[in-house]
Amino acid sequence: MTPPNHRGAPPVPWNLLPESAGTDARGSLTIGGCSVAALAATYGTPLFIYDEAQLRARCREAVEAFGDEVAYATKAFLCTAMARLAAEEGMVLDVSTLGELHVALLAGVDPSRLVLHGNNKSTAELSRALEVGVHRIICDSTDELDRLEVLAAAGGVRPKIWIRVTPGVEAHTHAYVQTGQEDSKFGFSVASGAAAAAVERIAAKGLLELCGVHAHIGSQVFDVASFGKAAEVLGRFFAPLGLGELCVGGGLGVAYVAGEEAPSFGAWAATVRGALAAVGIGPEVRISAEPGRAIVASAAITVYEVGTIKDLPGLRTYLSVDGGMSDNPRPVLYGSGYEAMAVAMPKAERVRAVRIVGKHCESGDVIVPEAFLPAEVGVGDLIATPVTGAYGYSMASNYNKVPRPAVVFVADGRERLVVRRETLEDLVRLDLG
Ligand code: LLP
Q: What is the CATH number of the domain that holds 38?
A: 2.40.37.10
Question: Over 90: is that where the pLDDT of 7 sits?
Answer: no
Question: Over 80: is that where the pLDDT of 411 sits?
Answer: yes
Residue 275 — pLDDT band, cuts 50, 70, 90?
A: very high
The bridge status of strand 341-342 relative to strand 366-373 is unpaired
Contact 233, 169 (CB under 8 A): yes
Judge if the beta carbon of residue 214 lies within 6 A of ligand 1. Answer: no
CA–CA separation, 343 vs 30, rounded Å? 9
Q: For 151-200, what is each residue's pLDDT tens digit?
A: 999 999 999 999 999 988 776 666 666 666 788 899 999 999 999 999 99
Question: Over 90: is that where the pLDDT of 255 sits?
Answer: yes
Rg (CA), the chain: 23
Would you say residue 9 lies in a domain? Answer: no
Mutating to test ligand 1, I would choose from 66, 219, 296 the residue with most ligand atoms within 8 A of its C-beta, which is 219
Please give the mean pLDDT across all residues of the chain. 95
Q: Say if residue 40 is in the same domain as residue 72.
A: no
Furthest C-alpha separation in the chain: 73
Q: Say if residue 244 is in the same domain as residue 124.
A: yes
Judge if the beta carbon of residue 293 lies within 6 A of ligand 1. Answer: yes
CATH of the domain at 215: 3.20.20.10
Question: Over 90: is that where the pLDDT of 102 sits?
Answer: yes
CA–CA separation, 344 vs 28, rounded Å? 4
- State the amino acid at position 46 in one-letter form: P
Q: Say if residue 134 is in the same domain as residue 257.
A: yes
Q: What is the mean pLDDT of residues 342-370?
A: 97
Q: Given this model, what pLDDT does residue 5 score?
A: 47
Residue 418 — pLDDT band, cuts 50, 70, 90?
A: very high
Tell me the CA–centroid distance for residue 250 and ligand 1, in Å: 7
Q: For 83-97, what is each residue's pLDDT tens digit?
A: 999 999 999 999 999
Q: Say if residue 307 is in the same domain as residue 245.
A: no
Tell me the CA–centroid distance for residue 391 and ligand 1, in Å: 9
**By three-state DSSP, how is residue 386 classified?**
strand
* Domain, as residue range, for 218: 52-294
Q: Say if residue 342 is in the same domain as residue 418.
A: yes
Judge if the beta carbon of residue 391 lies within 6 A of ligand 1. Answer: yes
Judge if the beta carbon of residue 251 lies within 6 A of ligand 1. Answer: yes
Q: What is the mean pLDDT of residues 234-240?
A: 96
Q: Given this model, what pLDDT does residue 1 score?
A: 40
Judge if the beta carbon of residue 329 lies within 6 A of ligand 1. Answer: no
Closest CA to 77 of 422, 405, 415: 405
Q: Given this model, what pLDDT does residue 177 score?
A: 62
Question: Over 80: is that where the pLDDT of 430 sits?
Answer: yes
Q: Say if residue 365 is in the same domain as residue 241.
A: no
Name every residue whose Cβ is closer than 8 Å to that of residue 76 and which is 6 or more positions away in sequence: 292, 293, 295, 296, 297, 389, 390, 391, 394
Q: Say if residue 170 is in the same domain as residue 289.
A: yes
Would you say residue 208 lies in a domain? Answer: yes
Would you say residue 225 lies in a domain? Answer: yes
Helices (H), 67-193: 80-88, 98-106, 123-132, 142-155
Name every residue whose Cβ is closer than 8 Å to that of residue 103 and which is 6 or more positions away in sequence: 74, 78, 79, 80, 83, 95
Would you say residue 404 lies in a domain? Answer: yes
Q: Given this model, what pLDDT does residue 174 score?
A: 62
Q: Say if residue 204 is in the same domain as residue 304.
A: no
Q: Say if residue 338 is in the same domain as residue 270.
A: no
| Helix (H) or strand (E) run with residue 237 in it | helix 224-238
Tell me the CA–centroid distance for residue 382 and ligand 1, in Å: 30
CA–CA separation, 402 vs 192, rounded Å? 46
Judge if the beta carbon of residue 252 lies within 6 A of ligand 1. Answer: yes
> Considering its fold, how many domains does the chain have in total?
2
Q: Which atom of ligand 1 lies nearest, measured to the CA of 138? A: 3
Q: Say if residue 253 is in the same domain as residue 390.
A: no
Would you say residue 103 lies in a domain? Answer: yes
| Helix (H) or strand (E) run with residue 238 in it | helix 224-238
Would you say residue 118 lies in a domain? Answer: yes
CA–CA separation, 289 vs 214, rounded Å? 9
Residue nearest to atom 9 of ligand 1 (CA): 250
Question: Over 90: is that where the pLDDT of 251 sits?
Answer: yes
Domain end call among 294, 325, 350: 294
Catalytic residue among 59, 211, 247, 361: 361
Tell me the CA–centroid distance for residue 390 and ligand 1, in Å: 9
Q: Given this model, what pLDDT does residue 2 score?
A: 43
Judge if the beta carbon of residue 73 lies within 6 A of ligand 1. Answer: yes
Would you say residue 423 lies in a domain? Answer: yes
Q: Say if residue 24 is in the same domain as residue 107.
A: no
Annotated catalytic, 247? no
Would you say residue 335 lies in a domain? Answer: yes
Q: What is the mean pLDDT of residues 49-77?
A: 98
Domain end call among 267, 294, 321: 294
Tell me the CA–centroid distance for residue 194 and ligand 1, in Å: 23
Contact 118, 96 (CB under 8 A): yes
Domain end call among 248, 276, 294: 294
Q: What share of the chain in percent tops pLDDT 90?
A: 93
CA–CA separation, 29 vs 36, rounded Å? 6
Tell me the CA–centroid distance for residue 292 and ligand 1, in Å: 6
Judge if the beta carbon of residue 118 lies within 6 A of ligand 1. Answer: no
Q: Say if residue 67 is in the same domain as residue 190.
A: yes
The pTM assigned to this predicted structure is: 0.96
